[in-house]
Homo-oligomer: A and B are copies of this chain.
Amino acid sequence: MQRKLDKIMAICEKRGFFFPSAEIYGGKAGFWTYGHLGTLLKRKFENEWNLDENFYEIEDCNLLPEQVFVSSGHLEHFRDPLTECKKCHFRFRADELIEDELNINVEGIKAEAMDKIIRDNNLKCPKCGSRELTKVRWFNMMFELKVGAVGEETMYLRPETAQSAYLSFKREFYALREKLPIGLAIIGKAYRNEISPRQVFFRLREFTQAELQIFFDPKKINEVENWNKVRRYKLRMFLAKNRKSKKVVEMSCEDVVKKLNLPKMYVYYLAMVQRFYLNILKIPKEKFRLKELTEKERAFYNKIHYDVELFLETLEGFKEVAGIHYRTDYDLRNHQEGSKESMEVINEKKEKFIPHVLELSFGVDRNVFSIVDIFFKEEKERNLFVFPRKLAPIEVAIFPLVRKDKLPQKARKVFSLLKDSGFIVFYDEKGSIGRMYRRMDEIGCPAMITIDYDSLKNDDCTLRDRDTMKQIRVKIDELPQTILKFLNGEKLTKLGKIFK
């Protein structure tokens, strides 16, 4: 689907969704800029990302001291297998070469084993075709830098936001009255020195994560207050044993607990995450699955790990956009050892323990790109984004039918009315009404309002639905309320009589 990808990218670059960072200097792989529409769409995703009403957002530095990553294990383990062509000196990831050529997943295996696979299968440089490749060596993906007047201290750009929540846990535990569970959310930048950035927003060097770390008493992992609300809710499980058949099975939360022996709390959050994708982001069910990771595939500190995968036409398959990780007490325990600060808390029974952590981790850019992929639609006469109405970057567009006879003045008044009511509004008067409609269709604006000659007489306007292109007339003083209902999902026919 390169064709579809090209089409989407052309629209996104032209209309201000996103484009390569520092593009006028040729850009750098893995770095992107969000234009004004992309920024609005990203903000909307971030604001809707509200998986549990009992969490608190914190904000930390992107630069953290070396000791943090000694304790977290990143300094030792956060690395990719690198190989180099001896002929053309192209450097690339050995695991990707093997995956691309042989369709073997080599996650978790040693460098020597990769060497052997490459040799045994006679794999060659993807650039020049030479078969002389250097031995696979490990390459740490964190960006290192020196801080201070003569660079006396080493710090790193964080490769995930999670560590910041662990570092702040004790402070926040006390500030939040010493109760568990506590959810600490961070929406912020993370950095990885990827050897080969690719697949648009799916392997970036600078990216935004939205991560929620839930700290809890491991003895209560099967106590969930709202369990009844999800008990019968069906999860779309893509189990490891079905990897070959690609079969997704729908199982109730209750069954998942019983049959897969997963803790209730973990399954509850699987349900919360699935609901977010299906109900809030309105992802079609068949494009969503919860993929089980095997022990080999998951990080060694993750006891349970499922990924959220969405099917993207442009990238021709299911792609990971989020993960639900049961990290146990791995992180807090290591920071306790590394910092000598106690991470223990005391429960009602006066038992001392280190809390366990359940992590909900989302790649914001990947999700934004997925929304753009999934809601792109090609019709005979137009290309458009059929974003869920509440996610649309621009919510309402206002046009005068013509640029004379005081129609623009009237239209500008309606613009102000809606802007003051808190909607994200765009005014346009350049071109024919048909062309103005098309331009707003293209960026996925769900509601379009036209001021015509009747508007001057009757103080009303037309409201056009992006998806059906149908129109109704609405009194201007009722417009804010009508638009609110419309953005909340009400059908146009329920709001007025279709006349066109």
Contact = CB atoms under 8 A, between A and B. Distances in A.
Nearest to A15: B175
B68 A39 contact: no
A241 to B, nearest CB: 36
Given A15-B175, A143-B145, A57 B39 contact: yes
Contacts of A36: 56-58, 172, 175-176, 184
Contacts of A61: 21-22, 31-33, 206
A33 B59 contact: yes
Interface string A166-177: 011011101111
Nearest to A420: B53
A149 interface: yes
A34 B60 contact: yes
Q: Give the oligomeric copy count.
A: 2
A16 B63 contact: no
A144 interface: yes
B205 A147 contact: yes
Interface in A356-375: none
B149 A16 contact: no
Interface in A136-165: 139, 143-150, 153, 155, 157, 164
A126 interface: no
A403 interface: no
B28 A153 contact: yes
A137 to B, nearest CB: 10
A60 B177 contact: no
Contacts of A345: none
Interface in A34-81: 34-40, 42-43, 53, 56-65, 67-68
A171 B34 contact: no
Given A57-B36, A205-B63, A338 B25 contact: yes
24 contacts: A14-B175, A15-B175, A21-B60, A22-B64, A22-B65, A22-B67, A22-B167, A23-B167, A25-B339, A33-B58, A33-B59, A33-B60, A36-B56, A36-B176, A39-B56, A39-B58, A39-B59, A43-B57, A53-B419, A63-B143, A63-B206, A91-B150, A139-B149, A177-B428
Interface of A: 13-16, 19, 21-25, 28, 31-40, 42-43, 53, 56-65, 67-68, 82, 91, 139, 143-150, 153, 155, 157, 164, 167-168, 170-172, 174-177, 184, 189, 191, 193, 195, 205-206, 335, 338-339, 341, 419, 428, 430
